[in-house]
């Protein structure tokens, strides 16, 4: 069993996919903490419905990223968290957490990186008029969606595709791919530790 913390900022449908995968035994992990930087975000409701502990913080209340990340780090250590899983966490991870979790922070992004990094990757792909986009899972470094790529999956943009229909297709891929890829990473790590 791998102890993880899930960081989210919004709806939390990827958090839900992880909760569900753990529930059906497809992902051997325990969510020790849900971290959220937005009050009222639906991911917090999902966490409480699943009886998971959560930590909500107001980034602007702290002097710097280092100060609030130190606070988060303390909680992660108290709960023996081994991996940080970003699920729609719309904030750059700073040196405090990067140094404490080397190659152990993972992100999911709704495009085929390095195309369309940053915010609104789905809107960026539609605006660019490409016919192919997708989903990327990667290790997090100090850049915006720039760390080493772990897995990618294509999603075709059909003629007449709307934002809603593309979002739906991308989310469906994310919800299937993220638990699978995490399970592979965690089981490989456990094999290496045995």
Query: Which residues lie closer than 8 Å to 101 by C-beta, 6 or more apart?
Result: 83, 84
147 in contact with ligand GAR (CB under 6 A): no
Measured between its terminal Cα atoms, the distance across the chain in Å is 13
**Range in contact with ligand GAR (rule: CB under 6 A) among 9-17, 29-37, 52-60, 98-106:** 9-17
Provide long-range contacts, Cβ within 8 A and 24+ apart, for 42-49.
42/10, 42/11, 42/12, 43/8, 43/9, 43/10, 43/11, 43/12, 43/15, 43/87, 43/88, 44/12, 45/12, 46/12, 46/15, 46/16, 46/19, 47/12, 47/15
Nearest to 5 by CA among 30, 38, 37, 39: 30
**Range in contact with ligand GAR (rule: CB under 6 A) among 44-52, 57-65, 108-116, 156-164:** 108-116
Choosing from 109, 138, 171, 175, the catalytic residue is 109
**Range in contact with ligand GAR (rule: CB under 6 A) among 29-37, 62-70, 73-81, 103-111:** 103-111
Q: Least Å distance between CB 80 and ligand GAR?
A: 25
**Which CB atom, from 23 or from 67, has the smaller least distance to ligand GAR?**
23
**Range in contact with ligand GAR (rule: CB under 6 A) among 19-27, 29-37, 104-112, 154-162:** 104-112
- Show the beta-strand stretches assigned E in the chain: 2-8, 29-36, 54-56, 83-86, 105-109, 132-139, 149-156
**Which CB atom, from 88 or from 179, has the smaller least distance to ligand GAR?**
88
Q: Which of residues 20-59 bind ligand GAR (CB under 6 A)?
A: none
Residue ranges of the alpha helices (H) in 50-88? 65-78
Q: How far apart are CA 72 and CA 161, in angstroms?
A: 40
Q: Is 171 a catalytic residue?
A: no
Q: Which of 3, 11, 30, 146 binds ligand GAR (CB under 6 A)?
A: 11
124 in contact with ligand GAR (CB under 6 A): no
Q: Least Å distance between CB 90 and ligand GAR?
A: 6
**Which CB atom, from 77 or from 126, has the smaller least distance to ligand GAR?**
126
Which residues are tagged catalytic? 109
Which residues are near ligand GAR by CB under 6 A? 8, 10-14, 87-88, 108-110, 121, 145, 174
């Amino acid at each position: 069993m791998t102890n993880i913390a899930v960081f989210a900022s919004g709806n939390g449908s990827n958090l839900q996919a992880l909760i569900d995968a753990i529930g059906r035994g497809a992902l051997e992990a325990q969510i020790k903490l849900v971290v959220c930087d937005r009050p009222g975000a639906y991911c917090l409701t999902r966490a409480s419905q699943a009886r998971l502990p959560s930590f909500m913080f107001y980034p602007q209340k702290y002097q710097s990223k280092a100060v609030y990340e130190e606070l988060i780090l303390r909680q992660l250590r108290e709960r023996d968290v081994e991996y940080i899983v970003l699920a729609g966490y719309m904030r750059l991870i700073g040196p405090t957490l990067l140094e404490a979790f080397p190659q152990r922070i993972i992100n999911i992004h709704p495009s085929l990186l390095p195309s369309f990094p940053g915010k609104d990757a789905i809107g960026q792909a539609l605006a660019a008029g490409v016919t192919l986009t997708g989903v990327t899972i990667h290790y997090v470094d100090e850049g915006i969606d720039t760390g080493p790529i772990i897995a990618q999956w294509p999603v075709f943009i059909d003629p007449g595709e709307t934002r809603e229909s593309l979002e739906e297709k991308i989310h469906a891929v994310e919800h299937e791919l993220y638990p699978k890829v995490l399970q592979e990473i965690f089981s490989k790590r456990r094999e290496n530790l045995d």
